[in-house]
Copies of this chain bind each other. A is one copy, B any other.
């Protein structure tokens, strides 16, 4: 009787992932997209409702996010979304420019034709994806965000050092939150495609110095845009709401 094999296949496909893992990924996406606002209190029971998960799952997911620096835990007072600040942004940008540069240099030294091809493909996809939601130009297009991440990953994928790539990934995720906040601000002004293309061409030409310089400028430009806006992203504490919403500080995607 082949019934058993069938059952096994079903159960395996049913739980390729675990409930906690799911919750973690959704929370992480909400954090990176700033749908959960920096500094906001994260009430476990609310999150359970919004994500359809239970206490344990949410708590575990938040614990993981704590070590990633996207959430902060305060001993008997629960979790908050990690705050942001101009100082941190400056620091983060400087460090990220260095680390991305190191990765890029190694990738340029070690990359083969497979790396080149994937890079070209990632650039093509990115350049053909609109940066903002066609319906609402204030909002970033999720597909663009994914393509942008994939392009930067392709650039450094031949780096050869798992640890360097891991550090890079941490910094990229942190920067993503700030990038999201800058989107509603800088309307146009900037030709991102040209910047990306220049970095790619320097990389393909194996000009490590030029590639690093362009990458550093690319990373720093987003930061400058955000810092020049008189820093409008501070957490507003206890400001009287206009009664249009309940007293939720944070609004997740899964409501």
Q: How long is the Cα–Cα vector from A167 to B170 in the complex, in angstroms? A: 9
Q: Are B91 and A161 in contact, with the CB atoms below 8 A?
A: yes
Least CB distance from A90 to B in Å reads 10
Q: Are B75 and A17 in contact, with the CB atoms below 8 A?
A: yes
Q: A18-B76, A95-B163, A161-B94 are in contact. Are A66 and B64 (CB under 8 A)?
A: yes
Closest to A74 in B: B18
Contact with B along A31-71 (1 / 0, CB 8 A): 00000000000000000000000001001110111111100
Q: Which residue of B20, B64, B91, B163 is within 8 Å of A91 (Cβ)?
A: B163
Which residues of chain B are near A163, meaning CB under 8 Å?
88, 91-92, 95-96, 171, 174
Which residues of chain B are near A64, meaning CB under 8 Å?
63-64, 66-67
Q: Which residue of B15, B66, B96 is within 8 Å of A76 (Cβ)?
A: B15
Q: Which residues of A from 193 to 212 have beta carbons under 8 Å from B?
A: none
Q: Which residue of B17, B56, B91 is within 8 Å of A56 (Cβ)?
A: B56
Which residues of chain B are near A76, meaning CB under 8 Å?
15, 18
Contact with B along A9-39 (1 / 0, CB 8 A): 0000001111011000000000000000000
Q: How long is the Cα–Cα vector from A17 to B76 in the complex, in angstroms? A: 8
Which residues of chain B are near A109, meaning CB under 8 Å?
none
Least CB distance from A157 to B in Å reads 15
Closest to A170 in B: B167
Q: Are A166 and B69 in contact, with the CB atoms below 8 A?
A: yes
Q: How long is the Cα–Cα vector from A240 to B20 in the complex, in angstroms? A: 36
Q: A59-B56, A60-B59 are in contact. Are A102 and B98 (CB under 8 A)?
A: yes
Which residues of A line the B interface, CB within 8 A?
15-18, 20-21, 56, 59-61, 63-69, 75-76, 88, 91-92, 94-96, 98-99, 102, 161-164, 166-167, 170-171, 174
Shortest beta-carbon contacts, A-B, top 10: A67-B67, A63-B63, A95-B163, A60-B63, A63-B64, A64-B67, A67-B68, A91-B163, A18-B75, A95-B164
